[in-house]
Amino acid sequence: MGSYIQSTKAQQQEMLQKIGCKSIEELFSNVPSDVALTRPLNIPEGMSEVEVMQYMQDMADENTVFKTVLRGAGAYRHYIPAIVKSVVTKEEFVTAYTPYQAEMSQGILQSIFEYQTMICSLTGMDVSNASVYDGASAAAEAVAMCRERKRAKAFVSACSNPDVIETIKTYCSGNGMSVELIPEKDGVTDLEALKSMLCDDLACVYIAQPNYYGIFENLEEASEITHSIGAKLIAGCNPIALSIIKTPFEAGADIAVGEGQPLGMPLSFGGPYLGFMAATNAMMRKLPGRIVGETVDHDGRRAYVLTLQAREQHIRREKASSNICSNQAHCALTAAVYMSAMGADGMKEVATQSMSKAHYLKSKLESIGFESVYDKPFFHEFVTTGGKMGAKKALEALEKNGILGGLLLDDDKILWCATEVVTKKEIDKAVAVLEEVGK
Amino acid sequence: MKLIFERSVEGRNLTLLPKCDVETAALPEGLARTSALNLPEVGECDISRHYTELAKGAHGVNDGFYPLGSCTMKYNPKVNEQAAALPGFADIHPLQSVETVQGALKSLVLAEELFGEITGMDNVSFQPAAGAHGEFTGIMLIKAYHESRGDSKRTKIIVPDSAHGTNPASANMAGYTIVSIPSNEEGCVDLEKLKAAVGDDTAGLMLTNPNTVGVFDKNILEITKIVHDAGGLNYYDGANLNAVMGVARPGDMGFDVVHLNLHKTFSTPHGGGGPGSGAVGCKSILTPFLPLPRAIRNGDKYELLTKNETSFGRVKEFYGNYLVVIKALTYVLTLGAEGIREAAQIAVLNANYMMNGLKDAYEMAYPGFCMHEFVMTLEGMKKEYGVSAMDVAKSLIDHGIHPPTMYFPLIVHEALMIEPTETESKETLDEAIEALCAIASEAKSNPEAVISAPHTTPISRPDEVGAARNPKLRYEF
């Protein structure tokens, strides 16, 4: 029923006549009859706009939107400033393709250049690309970047997000690199174990900072150990935490990657999110994907273009550094607007408040019998036991009260998270609910 | 245009957050950031005006005709955006319990059924985030299939020389050696060359049909049979599905696995380079190897399949670019069976109408009817008047039209590839034909004017060589 075709039937006839064709079917004469579909597609009849919105609304209503979210584990609910939504819905940004034609795409190109600059500021690294799909694929691409002729092994911290570990493993099973996990010890990467694992064919080490359990790793020591054998260190970063903690560059990382969703993107059931990637100058030409550079036009004016394209698939084909073509440009724009709106002070405030609320939540949980599993400095996530009633029951009780509690990990453990949008009142309520159930 | 950093004034900011209502936690010793965090210090009005200015320096489908071949720049319906912005989709956490996301799981199962039917495939994964990501996923499925059969000698993927660059790059990422086969005079697969290329080391063939020169390969059943007979599988690059949806299905052409570009064929916006969605459909022989988790129906409930022994792994966090899937689903539900087929038909009509309108002014690389796009070669024009495909493309910008795809496919010299899509009106096509014909005349009468185009844009042609030689990839504070 719905249609976005604008030519009328009369115009279509006129067009056919001009081409010298009796019917539209004639244009499909190359499609052999034994391949052509002889029946209508078995999908529902089309809908009017009113009907389709009702249909989608009904489906959306079957999902629960929690007012209080104490769950992170790779997807974080932060405040999204009104200006961010206003800017990113501008249709010139929304409906443009990749900026192949620089002369009519300076706005898009400049926005990416600004994004790259901000990612460099945040991570302390020299160069950033224009984005990849998400934090997990960014980590996997970073691992692939480190491969050298005699180095085809990657060590990945067991304290990384499981999705990141699995994605790295998938990419490596494709390109023939081998992956080993660096074991966890007391909630952090076991650096003594890393030392004992070192080998000449090690390409890189991946460690998340903070790690999956929210705990701060000793990235500097990991860097020393990794570099002692000539391998590269990849830091997986939370972009909010980066505003207050030592940058991956300061800690000695060669590549910094991460999930950029906290920078202004809604939870969206997992996507679209943003993979950010930044590296040292030495690794610039191994970065995958689009990169925007500054240059001048024919008349000497400042201009922006897609650059270093000799790395990319449309030029290098099977020899390209990656197959990536479309990325998450609109999400990168979102992140840039978010960081502009927040500014350095705002970013630090988001980080500090998130961390403070998480610490408050932890102390309150501890007071009612949820024991802390790891006694280590943490950012805005932490792990506790399931308290008196057990983890599963605790989370169900919260859910019944409109609160999305932490994530159930194995063995009766809960991974909690708090961000700046959670109020003290909400935390107190959650704890009261748990206390009541535990009685 | 000023950079946002050049608008920065020390001490300027927005008031966004309330005071912290709990005790402030302190970072452990030695962990605090010591280097400056250089972000712009701007007000809300600054931001609004800055990005409005940048938006004016961008060109989307909303700004005008965008006949970028192979990219299917059709109109992006606004109801799709409205549906995806519903809080019930946009504000749900990916790790909520399945009981609280029944609608989301239902939408994925429904989308799987619809896209499965459109492509003639049994199952669909929405985890891949873009076309190239889908290609990688599809090739990994093929790899997992051969490995599951203990068939380890299949190390090669065959790719025609007309293929998108992502095809060989994706197969390489999956660990395959690429065998490139030349196309025949019609731009189609050369059957003899294909027969000579296949063998017991063939893992599969990657093909676009209609192909990148806009021609439907009428030997398609024979092609896929040759590969199957050799023990390989057939991969369908869905970049050009817009030409045949509702008319013919990859699954009926002998393909085992297909990726779709929901951001092309199914009308979701491209956002200046993404996010897209590279949904992958496959025949049931490949289903066991699909990435997890997958939404599945169990009676009248929906669940997430998170574990099995056979999946080749995961290519991304969570379930893919979910909101893009919601937009594409809204589109398919709006069009329905008839609308889908009609879209393909009019896309093909529009392309043929433009091709016909241009055939006297330009040389067509493959004369005859085309499908949804066609390729012109400007080799003659370049030889005779010194005006290249690039020059004509840049000149189009002065007419408010986004240039076609240039210098692709690689098998056509001085190529311009035009794909009007079904959502453009006859008037728009007439204007574009007129503009291109005017440029062709100008190329003869005043080539210098075309060579120096564009003349109406904020910048003239940029120095790309200089940009790559002395990379300046960020603002220096």
Task: Tell me which residue of A259, A311, A3 sits closest to A131, measured CA to CA.
Answer: A259
- Beta-sheet pairing, A68-69 with A403-404: parallel
Q: With contacts defined as CB-CB under 8 Å, which chain A residues touch B276?
A: 326
Whether residue A411 has pLDDT greater than 80: no
Interface check for B234 against chain A (CB to CB < 8 A): the answer is no
Whole-number pLDDT of residue B192: 97
Q: With contacts defined as CB-CB under 8 Å, which chain A residues touch B471?
A: 127, 284, 291, 293, 307-308
Per the structure, how many domains does chain A have? 2
Same structural domain for residues A411 and A299? no
In terms of phi and psi (left: phi > 0; alpha: psi -120 to 50; beta: otherwise), the region of B11 is left
- Find out whether B408 and B417 touch, Cβ atoms under 8 Å: yes
**ipTM associated with this complex:** 0.98
Mean per-residue pLDDT, B230-249: 97
Whether residue A234 has pLDDT greater than 80: yes
Mean per-residue pLDDT, A261-275: 98
- Beta-sheet pairing, B374-377 with B363-364: antiparallel
The number of C-alpha atoms within 13 Å of B338 and in the hemisphere containing its C-beta is: 6
Same structural domain for residues A209 and A356? no
Strand ranges for A260-316 from DSSP E? 275-279, 292-296, 302-306
Counting runs of H as helices and runs of E as strands, what totals does chain B give? 14, 13
The domain containing residue B442 runs over which residues?
341-451
Whether residue A298 has pLDDT greater than 80: yes
Whole-number pLDDT of residue A97: 96
- Find out whether B200 and B230 touch, Cβ atoms under 8 Å: yes
Counting one residue from chain A and one from chain B, the pairs whose CB atoms sit within 8 A come to 690
Task: Identify whether A4 is part of a domain.
Answer: no
Same structural domain for residues B255 and B165? yes
Same structural domain for residues A316 and A353? no
Of B41, B60, B101, which has the smallest distance from its Cβ to A95's Cβ? B60
Same structural domain for residues A108 and A213? yes
Whole-number pLDDT of residue A66: 98
Give the distance from residue B436's alpha carbon to the nearest chain A alpha carbon, in angstroms. 17
Separation CA A387–CA A396 (nearest Å): 13
Q: Which of residues 259-278 of A touch B (CB under 8 A)?
A: 259, 266-273
Mean per-residue pLDDT, A428-432: 98
Which amino acid would we find at residue B55? A
Whole-number pLDDT of residue B312: 97
Same structural domain for residues B218 and B236? yes
CA distances to A129, A259, A349, B19 from A339, rounded to whole Å, are: 17, 15, 12, 19
- State whether A266 and B1 contact (CB < 8 Å): no
Whether residue B417 has pLDDT greater than 90: yes
Separation CA A299–CA B470 (nearest Å): 18
CATH label of the domain that carries residue A157 = 3.40.640.10
- State whether A95 and B463 contact (CB < 8 Å): no
Where is the domain boundary, A307, A337, A367?
A337
pLDDT tens figures, A123-141: 999 999 999 999 999 999 9
Whether residue B440 has pLDDT greater than 80: yes
Task: Identify whether B470 is part of a domain.
Answer: no
Separation CA A176–CA A235 (nearest Å): 22
pLDDT tens figures, A73-107: 999 999 999 999 999 999 999 999 999 999 999 99
Mean per-residue pLDDT, A56-70: 98
Mean per-residue pLDDT, B272-294: 98
Instruction: Give me B444's structure tokens.
Output: 């003869």
- Find out whether A37 and B246 touch, Cβ atoms under 8 Å: yes
CA distances to A371, A380, A417 from A356, rounded to whole Å, are: 18, 8, 11
Of A27, A169, A355, which has the smallest distance from its Cβ to B348's Cβ? A27
Separation CA B262–CA B282 (nearest Å): 16
Same structural domain for residues A314 and A399? no
DSSP helix, strand, coil percent of chain B (3-state; round to 5)? 40, 10, 50
How far, in whole angstroms, is CA A55 from its chain's centroid?
30
Whole-number pLDDT of residue A317: 87
Mean per-residue pLDDT, A117-122: 98
Whether residue A1 has pLDDT greater than 80: no
Mean per-residue pLDDT, A341-369: 98
Instruction: Give me A393's structure tokens.
Output: 């029951």
For residue A325, name the pLDDT band (cuts at 50, 70, 90). Answer: very high
Of A89, A133, A307, which has the smallest distance from its Cβ to B129's Cβ? A133
Separation CA A429–CA A401 (nearest Å): 9
Same structural domain for residues B347 and B271? no
Q: Work out the burial of residue B74: count CB atoms within 10 Å of its CB; fewer than 13 is exposed, 13-18 middle, 19 or more buried.
A: buried
Q: Per the confidence metrics, is the pTM higher than 0.95? A: yes
- Beta-sheet pairing, A275-279 with B415-418: unpaired
Mean per-residue pLDDT, A291-300: 97
Task: Identify whether B99 is part of a domain.
Answer: yes
The domain containing residue A286 runs over which residues?
82-337
Of A111, A134, A323, which has the smallest distance from its Cβ to B129's Cβ? A134
Q: Which of residues 150-169 of B touch A (CB under 8 A)?
A: 164-166, 168-169
Mean pLDDT score across all residues of chain B: 97
For residue A312, name the pLDDT band (cuts at 50, 70, 90). Answer: confident
Q: Reduced to 3 states, what is the DSSP secondary structure of residue B302?
A: strand
Whether residue A321 has pLDDT greater than 90: no
Concatenated DSSP letters of A56-87 = HHHHHHTB---SEE---TT-------HHHHHH
Separation CA B272–CA B269 (nearest Å): 9
Percentage of chain A exceeding pLDDT 70: 100
Q: With contacts defined as CB-CB under 8 Å, which chain A residues touch B130?
A: 133, 324-327
Task: Identify whether B14 is part of a domain.
Answer: no
Instruction: Give me B408's structure tokens.
Output: 């692709």
Instruction: Give me B174's structure tokens.
Output: 């999956």
Per the structure, how many domains does chain B have? 2
Whole-number pLDDT of residue A439: 83
Same structural domain for residues A323 and A405? no
Whole-number pLDDT of residue A320: 85
Please give the residue that has the higher pLDDT: either A315 or B180: B180
Of B20, B275, B472, which has the smallest distance from its Cβ to A331's Cβ? B275
Of A106, A134, A404, which has the smallest distance from its Cβ to B316's Cβ? A134
Q: Which of residues 378-397 of A touch B (CB under 8 A)?
A: none
CATH label of the domain that carries residue B430 = 3.90.1150.10
Q: Which of A54, A97, A274, A367 to mutate to test the interface with B (most CBs of B within 10 A)?
A: A97
Separation CA A354–CA A356 (nearest Å): 5
Interface check for B45 against chain A (CB to CB < 8 A): the answer is no
Backbone angles phi, psi at A417, to 5 degrees: -145, 145
Mean per-residue pLDDT, A212-228: 98
Task: Identify whether B86 is part of a domain.
Answer: yes
Helix (H) or strand (E) holding B324: helix B322-358
Q: Reduced to 3 states, what is the DSSP secondary structure of residue B260?
A: coil
